[in-house]
Amino acid sequence: MTRPNSERNHQVMPAPRRRHLYETDPAKLSFIELNRIIPISEAAALSSISPDGWYRHHRDKLIQLTEKRMGVRLRDALFLPQE
């Protein structure tokens, strides 16, 4: 039995894998690199917490950079305890 043409040409694509933003193991980063301040958007991508979640639940870790910009230390984004 032959399949219809649409099924035969249909290929299943694998799910995209999440790209690691930091190829280096976080344990091998220097003290200076861990203390670097990154934007909230980058911290959200690293920790899988939304920018709004940073403002709501981790305000103590936010650093005011300018009147409108906020940042987070890289170490806080990488080593955030899982709740």
52 alpha carbon, distance to own chain's centre: 14
Q: The dihedral of CA 81, 46, 58, 76: what is its sign?
A: positive
Mean per-residue pLDDT, 24-40 = 85
pTM given for the model: 0.67
Confidence tier at 76 by pLDDT (50, 70, 90):
very high
CA separation for the pair 1, 42 (Å, rounded):
52
pLDDT bracket for residue 3 (50, 70, 90): low
Confidence grade of residue 24 (pLDDT, cut at 50, 70, 90):
low
Residue with tokens 């300018």: 66
Distance CA 55, CA 70 (A): 10
Cα separation, 13 vs 11, in Å, equals 6
